[in-house]
Amino acid sequence: MIRRKNGRVNWAEPSSRSRRRHSVRSSRRTLEPRRRKNRRRIKSRVATPLIVPRSETAEPGAALPAKSRITLKVNGAEKQLEVAPWTTLLDALREQLGLTGTKKGCDHGQCGACTVLVNGKRINSCLALAIMKDGAEITTIEGLADGDMLHALQKAFIEHDAFQCGYCTPGQICSALGLIKEGKVKTSDDIRELMSGNICRCGAYPNIVAAIEEAMRAEHGTERHE
């Protein structure tokens, strides 16, 4: 390095500060090409999107599938509906028939809030396509009472305080009715196991079990299960 002092040019060892500056510049010159090269590699490895916008795949003027007319016997009354191929039984009951007692919870068949009876068997209506139930007999929570006379299960749920917020209650009652019709319950543990598909986020499970036992005694004269 050249230092100028008193008009003279002298060769001297570089100072520590100048050495640090030189090393930083050298490292930058060395690393910058590598960084640019790595950026090019990353860009080349970026996966192309798997979902193609519908506007790019749909043919010009393509129409949606036509709706189908189906007949359901809901709570004893025959109903005719026009449903799209993707309409679930839950949406048909709630949105087209106005039977909002059947609740939409998870919409994935995991909570049981949408439970109804189809031909006497309990199912999750959010997982069933309406078009597949053409001609079926559907029973929802609205169809259990006989006028002002509540069903035995509805009375038992009230007497045993088997609910808090009440959102899951229609599904719990419909599932319990299907459970009783199946005739598989022998003990309280059987009730807990066979009702495990119905979730109560308020945690009223002991009262729900007690209510189902009470309804079973009222309908079949069974003894209390322990």
Its pTM stands at 0.71
Residue 164, C-beta contacts closer than 8 angstroms, at least 6 positions apart: 202, 204
Per-residue pLDDT tens over the stretch 183-203 = 999 999 999 999 999 999 999
In the chain, residues under CATH classification 1.10.150.120 are 144-226
- Residue 165, phi then psi, degrees to nearest 5: -75, -25
Residue 4 backbone dihedrals phi, psi, to 5 degrees: -105, 120
Nearest-angstrom CA–CA distance, 91 and 61: 28
Give the three-state DSSP class for 219: helix
pLDDT in tens, 75-131: 999 999 999 999 999 999 999 999 999 999 999 999 999 999 999 999 999 999 999
Q: Would you state the structure tokens that stand for residue 86, as one six-digit string?
A: 């993707």
Q: Which pLDDT score, from 0 to 100, does residue 63 have? A: 81
Nearest partner of 156 among 207, 211, 205, judged by Cα: 211
Residue 97: predicted pLDDT? 97
Domain limits, CATH 3.10.20.30, in the chain: 66-143
The reported pLDDT for the residue numbered 4 is: 54
**19-53 residue pLDDT tens:** 556 565 565 566 566 666 666 665 555 555 555 55
Per-residue confidence (pLDDT) for residue 219, from 0 to 100 = 79
Contact by Cβ (8 Å): 187, 225:
yes
Instruction: Tell the CATH topology of 66-143.
Output: Ubiquitin-like (UB roll) (3.10.20)
pLDDT tens-digit readout, 141-188: 999 999 999 999 999 999 999 999 999 999 999 999 999 999 999 999
Give 225's pLDDT tier (boundaries 50, 70, 90): very low
Strand partners, 74: 77, 138
Confidence of residue 61 (pLDDT cuts 50, 70, 90): low
Q: Which residues contact 197 (CB under 8 A, 6 or more apart)?
A: 112, 115, 124, 175
Q: C-alpha angle 37/43/46, rounded to 5°?
A: 145
Question: Which fold does the domain 144-226 belong to in CATH?
Answer: DNA polymerase; domain 1 (1.10.150)
Query: With 60 as the cut, is the pLDDT of residue 136 above it?
Result: yes
> How many Å is the Cα radius of gyration of the chain?
35
